[in-house]
Structures are given as C-alpha cells and as structure tokens.
C-alpha cells in the first residue's frame, strides 16, 4: 500500500531554535498534503493545507510566520517550526492526498516535538 514517511520521528530542541519536519509520499504523487497537530488525548487539529507549487492555506489561529510550509514537489512537503517554544511541543502528523481528484489520504507516522 501507499506509504507516507515523516522525518524525524522525534526531535528535542532548545527554546528559540527552528525545527524542520519532512513529509514524503514514497510511492505516489500527492497534489495536496495536510499538516496536523495533536495534543495528548485530543483529536487531530488541522494546521494547514499544502498544495504543490503554491502557498499553503492556514487554518484560523495558526501563525503562518511561525509554521512555515513548503511543498516544492509532488512527493515532499516540509513544516518548519520557527523559534520554537515549549508550548509548541506536540505530535505533528502529515497526510498526503493522492493526485487526480481522489479522496484517498494516507497518513504519516508523526513527529514528536519536544521543546525544552
């Protein structure tokens, strides 16, 4: 089946540093990738929708200057958490939608970010 990978799977950083998380569709092309954040015992919260070759669309309340999204190819999207603070500690998950108007989405394994 289709696979979406995320790298790194976990990261610990100091407050004030920036962290980049990669989301790759390994065996299919993804027109759209979604970035989610999940706090403990809560459901996924959509942060932004990333379309290849265009600017990401951010959900209300999500700072676009803090969470930089780049979707440079049909198989790779990156999320950079800039000047990370402890409150940014969370589980970040991406999903990739199959190109061609499909509703099929595949989820990545997630990245655990801990900001000290």
Partner 1 sequence: KNEVEQSPQNLTAQEGEFITINCSYSVGISALHWLQQHPGGGIVSLFMLSSGKKKHGRLIATINIQEKHSSLHITASHPRDSAVYICAVRPNRGSNYKLTFGKGTLLTVNP
Q: Which among 12-20, 68-76, 78-86, 98-106 is the span making contact with partner 1, rule CB under 8 A?
A: 98-106
Beta-bridge partner residues of 91: 38, 112
Question: What does the DSSP 8-state code read for residue 26?
Answer: S
Q: For the window 45-84, what string marks contact with partner 1 as x by the rule CB under 8 A?
A: -x--x-------x---------------------------
Residue with Cβ nearer partner 1 (48 or 84): 48
Residue 53 C-beta-side C-alpha neighbours within 13 Å: 3
Bridging pattern class, strands 10-13 and 111-115: parallel
Interaction of residue 32 with partner 1, rule CB under 8 A: yes
d(CA 64, CA 106): 24
Nearer Cβ to partner 1 (83/104)? 104
Among 19, 21, 69, 93, binds partner 1 (CB under 8 A): 93
| Buried/exposed code over 7-24 (b: 16+ C-beta within 10 A; e: otherwise) | eeeebebeeeeebebbbb
Residue span binding partner 1 (CB under 8 A) among the ranges 11-19, 40-48, 60-68, 79-87: 40-48
């Amino acid at each position: 089946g289709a696979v979406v990978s995320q790298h790194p799977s976990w990261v610990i950083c100091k407050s004030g540093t920036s962290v980049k998380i990669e989301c790759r569709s390994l065996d299919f092309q993804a027109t759209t990738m979604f970035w989610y954040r999940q706090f403990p015992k809560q459901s996924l919260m959509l942060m932004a929708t990333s379309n290849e070759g265009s600017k990401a669309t951010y959900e209300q309340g999500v700072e676009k200057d803090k969470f930089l999204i780049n979707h440079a190819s049909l198989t790779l999207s990156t999320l950079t958490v800039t000047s990370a603070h402890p409150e940014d500690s969370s589980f970040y998950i991406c999903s990739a939608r199959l190109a061609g108007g499909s509703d099929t989405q595949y989820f990545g394994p997630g990245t655990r970010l801990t900001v000290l």
